[in-house]
Amino acid sequence: MISVNKKEFCIIGLGLGTLIPIILLVLFWWPLSLVNILKIFSFPESFIKIFALTGFTIGIIIDILFLKRLIHKFYRFNKSLLVIAYIYCSFIAVAFFMGLPIGNFLLGIIAGLYIGRRYHYINQNIDQFSVASRNISIFTAVITTLEALPVGFLALQEESLIGWINKFSGVQIFLLNRTIDIFIIVFLCIMLFIIQYFATRVVSKFAFNI
């Protein structure tokens, strides 16, 4: 177990205590909804709600029984489990923010905070931390970009980006073709990758040095 200060203990507890019921709610809700939507099996909507509420309730029970123990083990969680949890939460973030990369960007910031504090407590070797910081920054940037890219292309089915600019700026741009739109989407995703990478890297270094 790792002993953290009282403030950090409370922050971790609040974060985990909120996240666990939400993760289980979505885990119980989405697969059943997908089965219903694809008409593999047909369920009453009330049944799906009850199933989702069951997942949320199980999360609350886990909080009551195990939260304190999980807080003490927080910085020693298995890395593979953390990767799976991050990807899972990134999909929730995409849905919650309706495709905007805001949630994924914030998750990248949280990942930077986590890796910084993890190495602060369990391994203060600056070289190993630097490698871990770089790796987590690349990982979060890749996930954020990969989830933003298809959302951007799906948006093109609704309306041209150049057409959107014409509508809201009042400036008439006549290059209304998909090639320009695709170029803009790819360029924005590259910029998002760079911003996410450096944001996660900077935050991890800050967390490590606190």
Instruction: Provide the domain count of the chain.
Output: 2
Q: Which of 60, 76, 92 is the last residue of a domain?
A: 76
Same domain (yes/no): 64, 100: no
Identify the pLDDT of residue 27.
92
Average pLDDT for 102-126: 93
Cβ-contact 141, 193 below 8 angstroms: yes
Instruction: Name which residue leads in pLDDT, 45 or 209.
Output: 209
Identify the pLDDT of residue 69.
93
Cβ-contact 116, 133 below 8 angstroms: yes
Q: How far apart are CA 107 and CA 93, in angstroms?
A: 8
Predicted TM-score (pTM) of this structure: 0.84
Q: Which of 76, 106, 126 is the last residue of a domain?
A: 76
Closest CA to 190 of 146, 129, 139, 126: 146
User: Domain containing 23: what range?
Assistant: 1-76
Same domain (yes/no): 30, 87: no
Mean pLDDT of the chain: 86
Same domain (yes/no): 100, 14: no
Q: How far apart are CA 9 and CA 160, in angstroms?
A: 48
Cβ-contact 62, 30 below 8 angstroms: no
Q: Which of 31, 60, 76 is the last residue of a domain?
A: 76
Comparing 37-46, 84-93, 150-159, which segment has the lowest mean pLDDT?
150-159
Model confidence over 46-80: pLDDT tens digits?
A: 888 898 999 999 999 999 999 999 999 999 999 99
Model confidence over 133-175: pLDDT tens digits?
A: 999 999 999 999 999 888 877 766 655 454 555 555 544 444 4
Q: Which pLDDT band holds residue 43 (cuts at 50, 70, 90)?
A: confident
What percent of the chain shows pLDDT beyond 90?
59
Comparing 50-59, 106-115, 118-127, which segment has the lowest mean pLDDT?
118-127
Q: How far apart are CA 108 and CA 36, in angstroms?
A: 33
Q: What DSSP designation does 87 have?
A: H
Q: How far apart are CA 118 and CA 135, in angstroms?
A: 14
